């Protein structure tokens, strides 16, 4: 749509002349309930009043609005012709005065894609639920505004809805709801503090609500009282563990108050778990929204609870990093997301029962960062964001997890006290304002005395990841004469070598077989070679672990002795963080085609059953499936799958009955089972004729088992329909759609393709489910005909769908399973033939191509290793 993709330059020009004093937004969402209008889309009324100033009277500018219809536009009392001033995305504002009032009356469409005001009808009871999601720029789908983060203002919302509904926004209601003409009730909310458009929020519907409160005394005088609520759909209420959510919330508020010395500023704290949500959660001040999958319908592992706690704390950190102090433009998205990601792990370990937070961070979050930082689309943490499409794609592993890893390195570099004091000064100095990189560096320089601009240039303003490898020299008495750390930049496009504060740990086997650390040195690594003098004279280690304690952001490599030790004794590492780091390192080596995929799967088969940390175990399962699908030599896949299934079944039977480990192994076994005997066991677990002691086959696990059977052609549509009848819920419907699309049939694949590519009738959640079912690793031949159709459809898809849906389809349907050289050639042909395609679209295709090329390299590595291991191979 013309004007929908706001550029950075346009935003700067508008911010240079405009400042917003207030918004008054009235929404009438009564139309969400009841029958749909005959022959037309369902819309709601949106009336917006904006008071704003213009520093250049008589200048022109524009407001943002994406709507079905603009009924009227009035600027400073003058009626404007909507057809003349509104182009579908922007309202032209000519001849501005020093002080201005804009009034826009519009009809806007409810969303089915999770962008704007999303409407969901619960299939279980027919109830309707609404919520908003705006980041980075979808508030304009709900009300007229100036949609950029540096034009902050107070907002007053007024929502007319069915009388029985719960209605929430960022602020407290200003009195009781009032009866509305024509039925329903109108809730008017108090004005917010100055915030940007993208974190305003409305949640409305017959939600189940639980309440609590938080209080805190400051300086023995000032008491902060924060009303708390937690919401979910009524049909999920029986699964809702609000008490656990409130516990983590209070622990987080206590921690952040101590750490930041700035009281929570936004009054109440509502947390709504909403349906068909595209992301994990959103930090709307006073009204945080979460993906409702965090309301667990069945048994999950401790890792799931830990992950939910991390997300709660991540969003809470945003109340300060992002909401109180907001980045000026999306270039500095890291100023909120990197900090929130870091603070989530930091607070989790310090304040909650989930003290394994740094292990999870090292093993899961940083894996996301390492992958993103080796793609052709990698970028500095402080990014170059040209427009809103760029901004949408910048919510990636660099901005979140590399940025958080860099902040962990920063804490090691300047010290925790200096880091926290800088945060405190930052909040007090810039409260309710907007900042950029220089503002943070200024306070860090004050508190640390370090050369922060130089540190920033190395860590925040350059892309790429370094590798650190130990080089060990021993004497005749098996003592270290020199231990050096070698630093390399593996990608010639990003040759920067960085300063690293690292710990180097020496490990050896002790009586009983455990691998334990006996020496450690913390040092500054700089340049290509750094000698760690403190470790000279130590006995020869079995394992040298560079980046012990995970202080820096790097790829860890090993000397030959250490690698030999890990091949035989990785599971003997007694420290869970060191073990997680070792697992992460060998996975990185597998992805980089340094370690054959078969060797990695061998390590999983040998040692994953001994892994005590459930989060690490589940990461190993995910990575093993990735290795099997993409990195194992094609002619070895069947054998590798059989070995994995055999090992998984053995560990399932050995796992403690009723434990999270048992559940994790059951799910992994289902994902790799292919033999007739294995499928028969899955069928028996599903119908109750087979049992594993302690394993509860609840509804979620039933869908896992059925999905595996369906993809193998061992369950039919009648079985899927029967399961849906058992689980006639929104979750059941998504599982049903996934299973139907997973059936191994050319007709099924064609229908699934048509549902997501040729039609836009499905909601975002059902698009996601259909894609998940469509792309089955064991169905490469069935999927091969869609490669050409994929590239033929790309530009039309990008032009005709919302960016959220377009991203899901372009990424999810990329022919990653067609790992022949011809697919790379087809990808290159599209990229070469479409140089003017939208940059964001080209980025997604480039990323798919890079993953495919990486898979080719890994398969070649695995093939060479297999050939060398065959009897009679040349030595």
Q: For position 3, what pLDDT does the model report?
A: 65
Q: How far is CA 653 from CA 23, 167, 658, 659, in A?
A: 61, 49, 11, 12
User: Tens digits of per-residue pLDDT, 613-662?
Assistant: 999 999 999 999 999 999 999 999 999 999 999 999 999 999 999 999 99
Cα distance between residue 65 and residue 50, in whole Å:
13
Q: How would CATH label the architecture of 467-574?
A: Sandwich (2.60)
849 Cβ contact list (under 8 Å, min separation 6): 376, 824, 827, 828, 831
Which residues in 700-854 belong to E strands, given as ranges?
none
Q: Are 72 and 111 in contact (CB under 8 A)?
A: no
DSSP 294: G
Q: Are 48 and 25 in contact (CB under 8 A)?
A: yes
Percent of the chain with pLDDT over 70: 99
User: Tens digits of per-residue pLDDT, 124-144?
Assistant: 999 999 999 999 999 999 999
Instruction: Please give the angle made by the CA atoms of 401, 405 and 411, to the nearest 5 degrees.
Output: 145
Question: For residue 726, how many other CB atoms are within 10 A of its CB?
Answer: 11
Residue 874 pLDDT grade (very low, low, confident, very high; cuts 50, 70, 90): very low
Q: Are 598 and 865 in contact (CB under 8 A)?
A: yes
Cα distance between residue 488 and residue 530, in whole Å:
12
First to last CA, the chain: 63
| Residue 183 zone, left/alpha/beta (φ > 0; ψ -120 to 50; rest) | left
Q: Is 110 exposed, middle or buried (0-12, 13-18, 19+ CB in 10 A)?
A: buried
Active site amino acids: 315
Q: For position 873, what pLDDT does the model report?
A: 53
279 Cβ contact list (under 8 Å, min separation 6): 133, 291, 395
Q: For position 872, what pLDDT does the model report?
A: 60
222 Cβ contact list (under 8 Å, min separation 6): 263
Q: Which CATH superfamily is domain 217-224+234-464 in?
A: Neutral Protease Domain 2 (1.10.390.10)
Residue 875 pLDDT grade (very low, low, confident, very high; cuts 50, 70, 90): very low
pLDDT above 90: residue 40: no
User: Tens digits of per-residue pLDDT, 564-615?
Assistant: 999 999 999 999 999 999 999 999 999 999 999 999 999 999 999 999 999 9
Cα distance between residue 793 and residue 785, in whole Å:
13
Q: How would CATH label the architecture of 1-206?
A: Sandwich (2.60)
Q: Are 333 and 548 in contact (CB under 8 A)?
A: no
Nearest to 745 by CA among 765, 718, 719, 716: 716
Cα distance between residue 680 and residue 702, in whole Å:
14
Q: For position 869, what pLDDT does the model report?
A: 76
| Torsion on CA atoms 641, 647, 649, 650, rounded to nearest 10 | 170
| Torsion on CA atoms 375, 376, 381, 383, rounded to nearest 10 | -150
What DSSP letter does each residue of 826-845 carry, written as one string? HHHHHHHH-TTS-HHHHHHH
H or E stretch at 116: strand 116-121
Q: How far is CA 699 from CA 136, 270, 498, 713, 731, in A?
A: 36, 29, 50, 21, 10
Q: For position 863, what pLDDT does the model report?
A: 96
Locate 706 and state its tokens.
């059925």
Residue 867 pLDDT grade (very low, low, confident, very high; cuts 50, 70, 90): confident
Share the mean pLDDT of the chain. 96
Question: For residue 835, how many other CB atoms are within 10 A of its CB?
Answer: 7
pLDDT above 70: residue 62: yes
Instruction: Please give the angle made by the CA atoms of 92, 96 and 97, to the nearest 5 degrees.
Output: 160
Question: For residue 359, how many other CB atoms are within 10 A of its CB?
Answer: 24
Can you tell me the mean pLDDT for 673-680?
Answer: 97
């Amino acid at each position: 749509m013309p004007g929908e993709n706001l550029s950075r330059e346009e935003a700067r020009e508008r911010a240079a002349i405009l400042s917003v004093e207030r918004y008054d937004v009235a929404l009438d969402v009564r139309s969400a309930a009841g029958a749909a209008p005959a022959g037309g889309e369902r819309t709601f009324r949106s009336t917006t009043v904006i008071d704003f100033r213009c520093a250049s009277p008589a200048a022109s500018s524009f407001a943002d609005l994406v709507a079905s219809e603009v009924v009227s536009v009035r600027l400073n009392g003058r009626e404007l012709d909507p057809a003349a001033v509104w182009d579908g995305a922007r309202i032209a504002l000519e001849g501005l005065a020093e002080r201005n009032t804009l009034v826009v009356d519009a009809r806007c469409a409810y969303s089915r894609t999770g962008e704007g005001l999303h409407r969901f009808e619960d299939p279980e009871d027919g109830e309707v639920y609404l919520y908003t999601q705006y980041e980075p720029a979808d508030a304009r789908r709900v009300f007229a505004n100036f949609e950029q983060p540096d034009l902050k203002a107070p907002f007053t919302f007024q929502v007319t809805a069915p009388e029985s509904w719960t209605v929430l926004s960022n602020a407290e209601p200003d009195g009781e709801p009032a009866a509305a003409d024509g039925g329903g009730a109108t809730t008017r909310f108090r004005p917010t503090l100055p915030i940007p458009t993208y974190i305003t929020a409305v949640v409305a519907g017959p939600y189940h609500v639980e309440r609590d409160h938080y209080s805190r005394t400051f300086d023995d005088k000032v008491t902060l009282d924060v009303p708390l609520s937690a919401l979910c759909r009524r049909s999920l209420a029986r699964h809702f563990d609000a008490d656990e959510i409130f516990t983590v919330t209070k622990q987080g508020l206590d921690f952040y108050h101590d750490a930041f010395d700035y009281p929570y500023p936004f009054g109440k704290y509502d947390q709504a778990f909403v349906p068909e949500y595209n992301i994990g959660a959103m930090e709307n001040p006073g009204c945080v929204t979460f993906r409702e999958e965090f309301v667990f319908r069945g048994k999950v592992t401790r890792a799931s609870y830990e992950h939910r706690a991390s997300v709660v704390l991540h969003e809470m950190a945003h109340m300060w990093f992002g909401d109180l102090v907001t980045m000026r433009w999306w270039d500095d998205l890291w100023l909120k997301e990197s900090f929130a990601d870091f603070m989530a792990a930091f607070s989790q370990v310090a304040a909650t029962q989930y003290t394994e937070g740094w292990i999870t961070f090292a093993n899961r979050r940083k894996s996301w960062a390492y992958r993103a930082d080796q793609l052709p689309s990698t970028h500095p943490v402080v990014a170059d964001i040209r427009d809103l499409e760029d901004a949408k794609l910048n919510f990636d592993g660099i901005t979140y997890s590399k940025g958080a890893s860099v902040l962990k390195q920063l804490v090691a570099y300047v010290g925790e006290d200096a880091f926290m004091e800088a945060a405190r000064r930052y909040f007090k100095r810039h409260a309710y304002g907007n900042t950029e990189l220089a503002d943070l560096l200024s306070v860090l320089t004050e508190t640390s005395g370090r050369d922060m601009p130089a540190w920033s240039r190395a860590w925040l303003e350059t892309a790429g990841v370094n590798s650190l490898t130990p080089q060990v020299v021993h004497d005749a008495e098996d003592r270290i004469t020199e231990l050096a750390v070698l630093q390399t930049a593996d990608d010639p496009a990003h040759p920067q070598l960085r300063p690293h504060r690292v710990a180097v740990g020496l490990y050896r086997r002790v009586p009983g077989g455990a691998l334990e650390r006996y020496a450690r040195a913390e040092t500054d690594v700089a340049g290509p070679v750094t000698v760690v003098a403190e470790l000279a004279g130590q006995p020869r280690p079995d394992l040298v672990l560079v980046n012990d304690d995970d202080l820096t952001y790097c790829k860890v490599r090993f000397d030959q002795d250490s690698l030999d030790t890990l091949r035989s004794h990785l599971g003997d590492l007694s420290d869970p963080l060191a073990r997680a780091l070792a697992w992460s390192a060998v996975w990185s080596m597998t992805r980089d085609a340094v370690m054959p995929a078969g060797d990695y799967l061998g390590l999983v088969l040998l040692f994953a059953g001994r892994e005590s940390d459930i989060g690490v175990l589940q990461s190993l399962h995910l990575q093993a499936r990735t290795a099997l699908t993409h990195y194992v030599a094609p002619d070895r896949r069947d054998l590798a799958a059989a070995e994995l299934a055999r090992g998984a079944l053995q560990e399932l039977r050995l796992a403690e009955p009723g434990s999270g480990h048992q559940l994790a192994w059951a799910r992994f076994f289902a994902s790799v089972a292919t033999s007739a005997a294995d499928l028969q066991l899955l069928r028996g677990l599903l119908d109750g004729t087979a049992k594993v002691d302690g394993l509860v086959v609840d509804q979620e696990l039933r869908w896992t088992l059925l999905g595996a059977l369906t993809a193998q052609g061992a369950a039919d549509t009648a079985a899927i329909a029967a399961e849906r009848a058992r689980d006639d819920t929104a979750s059941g419907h998504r599982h049903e759609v996934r299973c139907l699309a997973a059936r191994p049939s050319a007709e099924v694949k064609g229908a699934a393709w048509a549902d997501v590519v040729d039609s836009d009738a499905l909601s975002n959640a059902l698009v996601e489910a259909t894609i998940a079912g469509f792309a089955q690793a064991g169905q490469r031949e069935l999927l091969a005909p869609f490669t050409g159709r994929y590239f033929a459809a790309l530009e039309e898809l990008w032009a005709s769908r919302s960016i959220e849906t377009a991203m899901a389809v372009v990424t999810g349907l990329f022919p990653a399973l067609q790992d022949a050289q011809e697919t790379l050639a087809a990808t290159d042909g599209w990229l070469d033939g479409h140089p003017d395609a939208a940059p964001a679209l080209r980025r997604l295709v480039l990323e798919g191509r890079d993953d495919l090329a990486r898979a080719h390299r890994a398969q070649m590595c695995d093939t060479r290793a297999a050939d060398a291991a065959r009897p009679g191979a040349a030595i």
